[in-house]
Amino acid sequence: MSERDAIELDVTLALAEAIGSGGITGRQLEGCAGPMAAAQAALEGRRAAGDLAWMDLPGQDVSGLVRFAEERHGRFDNLLVLGIGGSALGTIALGGALLHPYHNLLSKEERGGTPRLFVLDNVDPDQTRGLFDLLDWERTLTNVVSKSGGTAETAAAYLLVRDILEGHVAGKAGPAAIRLPVAEHMVFTTDPEKGVLREIAEEEGIPAFPISAGVGGRFSVLSPVGVLPAALCGMDVAALLAGADAMDRRIRESPGLRNPAGLFAGVQYLEYTAFTRRLSVMMPYSARLRFVADWFKQLWAESLGKARDRRGSDVHVGPTPVEALGATDQHSQVQLYVEGPDDKVVTFLRVGSFDREATMPQLHAEKPALAYLGGHGLGELLNAEQRATAWALARRGRPSIRVDLPRVDAHALGQLLYMLEVATGLMGELLDINAFDQPGVELGKEATYGLMGRTGYEALAREVAGLRKGA
């Protein structure tokens, strides 16, 4: 990877030299180097033992999946992804960053024959029925994504779509409902062996791609969970994985704080522990990266928010991730960041070169409030705003980190996503918690099963009902 293509991390504005006593000292950073090297060795050890298969995803063979996508090229106008949490957020982030900003409004020709992308990650009836009423089901491929296969929200959406395909409900075509072959209009992404989706796939010959053991939901964006929709929508899957692979090599070749994942995790760890800054804001200055911040929010929160450490002691630990968008949120949250409680570290995502540019015309030469913009590009303005916000924070002694992407493309995105995943694993090691489970999420899922009458969850349903009465 040439330097021109590499994403870079700049932590200068988190250091004491730049922001004063609220900044990290050289000594603190040095003190973190040893534990970080040990954390990295521990992760690599678990990877070698086969526990962390998500770390090997950059090198996976995706030829079958790419062939599947190629065979369907031009056949469908819509790709509907049903999933939630880790089974949806990666796809939303990829689509937001790598497709045309208004992909779904383009004509089929303008989309290069690829389908529109819809990701349904909620069970809101208005949203669901509103979308279903719009889709031409003959021209829609539905990708049901669930590692467990049983998540209530995804199961519910699957049942509704299946009902339409089986001809029980009229779709866009009007009152005359039509029956469509499920195996041609659906594809699953699920556990390779277990779960109800795998069972149905095997019974009915529905194509199904695997989410291997060791690939948890929030670490699955580079697995078929994200890569299949990406390939179907014409994103450059090879470049995405090559970017992740380049980051993997970079991390391994420069251990500890000398690679971006280690440095990012090290600074975040010091902010959390030494400065008790409990909030971690991600603020892209690129509308295309907006959903990367959303994806990161889940990755950071679900991985690091834990009740117990690995020895079983109560710790109730975890930074709270917050998302913001530059420049939009300069006129919303930034006042709080600059002058409110000093409890945050902000990570800016900044883009070197935008795909499109809009240069402001030289109008109103007589009006200084407008004339100064003439001849400058919007990208230049956006990046100036990022610098201005970082400066305003620094002036108040508030820390920030900057990730520079040369441009928003699949290669840079692969680097960024993989870097953040490894940083999350490293942060988990430093906090001495298991970053790869989610007992709090499971508890809520199981209570939902109970409340909705699923067999085997009656006791939990009674417990929830009791709480309601007592409250």
The catalytically annotated residue of 302, 323, 421, 429 is 302
- Please indicate whether residue 302 is annotated as part of the active site: yes
Nearer to ligand PA5, 91 or 154 (CB): 154
Nearer to ligand PA5, 151 or 400 (CB): 151
Nearer to ligand PA5, 84 or 282 (CB): 84
- Please indicate whether residue 103 is annotated as part of the active site: no
- Please indicate whether residue 344 is annotated as part of the active site: no
Residue whose C-beta lies closest to ligand PA5:
217
Pairing of the two strands 314-317 and 306-308: antiparallel
First-to-last alpha carbon distance for the chain, in angstroms, is 58
Nearer to ligand PA5, 86 or 379 (CB): 86
Nearer to ligand PA5, 78 or 87 (CB): 87
Nearest approach, Cβ of residue 127 and ligand PA5 (Å): 18
Q: Give the Cα separation of 207 and 390 in Å (integer).
A: 48
Strand ranges of the sheet holding 400-405, from the earlier edge strand across to the other edge: 8-10, 400-405, 344-351, 279-284, 320-323
- In this structure, are residues 405 and 412 in contact, taking their beta carbons and an 8 Å threshold? yes
Cis preceding-peptide flag for 157 (omega within 30 of 0): no
Nearest approach, Cβ of residue 154 and ligand PA5 (Å): 5
The catalytically annotated residue of 103, 297, 344, 445 is 445
Nearest approach, Cβ of residue 275 and ligand PA5 (Å): 28
Q: Give the Cα separation of 119 and 114 in Å (integer).
A: 15
Per DSSP, what are the bridge partners of residue 145? 189
Q: What are the φ/ψ torsions at residue 293 (nearest 5 degrees)? A: -65, -35
Q: Give Cα 123 to chain centroid, integer Å.
A: 20
Give the residues lining the site for ligand PA5 (CB under 6 A).
84-87, 146-148, 151, 154, 216-218, 302, 438, 441
Nearest approach, Cβ of residue 440 and ligand PA5 (Å): 11
Nearest approach, Cβ of residue 123 and ligand PA5 (Å): 13
Q: What are the φ/ψ torsions at residue 87 (nearest 5 degrees)? A: -90, 5
Q: Quick check: helix, strand or coil at residue 334?
A: helix
The catalytically annotated residue of 71, 193, 253, 331 is 331
Active-site positions read 302, 331, 445
